[in-house]
Amino acid sequence: MNYNIELKEKSVQPVLAVRKTTSIGNLPQEIGKAYGSIMQYLSELGEQPADVPFTAYYNMDMENLDVEMGFPVSKQLEGKGEIKAGMISAGKYVECMYKGPYAECAPVYDAMNKWIAEKGFKATGTSYEFYYNSPVEVPESELLTRIMLPLK
């Protein structure tokens, strides 16, 4: 399959996020809890997300996933409890918009990693997924996910 893989230069993006270690089986519940608590906190602050929700994957250990789940925000905000203020670093990213079930996105990662190697870049090992809709809203075949891989 052909994927539209692009090299982008990104500026710093402030975020509010919850970082957890969880298994792949518990990930949907953890994501739901994190997004819900962050949206509630943003509402308390009178703020809105600056973009769609994301999950950052710091490893691919399916039993002990190190993930950060959150929302980009328009300015640096204070965290509260397990909700931490943070940022997505500035720099070069390879990105691709994927349409389809979450469970079937591995070929996109493979294609992106191949593209990175062919162009002589190196990935950091972290990946970001930005979710433009959810399985509650659309059939799995219509899910839209922007995948971003930061480069060293």
Q: Which residue has the tokens 């973009």?
A: 51
Band of residue 20 on the pLDDT scale cut at 50, 70, 90? very high
Query: Which H or E element spans position 109?
Result: helix 106-118
Instruction: Give me the domain span that covers residue 138.
Output: 5-150
> Residue 24 sits in a domain of what CATH number?
3.20.80.10
Say if residue 1's pLDDT is above 80.
Answer: no
d(CA 64, CA 67): 9
- DSSP letter at 119 equals T
Q: What pLDDT was estimated at residue 133?
A: 96
Instruction: Supply the pTM of this predicted model.
Output: 0.95
Overall average pLDDT of the 13-42 stretch: 97
Q: What pLDDT was estimated at residue 67?
A: 98
d(CA 62, CA 73): 29
Q: How many domains does the chain fold into?
A: 1
The residue among 63, 56, 68, 60 whose CA lies nearest residue 24 is: 63
Band of residue 62 on the pLDDT scale cut at 50, 70, 90? confident
Contact 17, 70 (CB under 8 A): yes
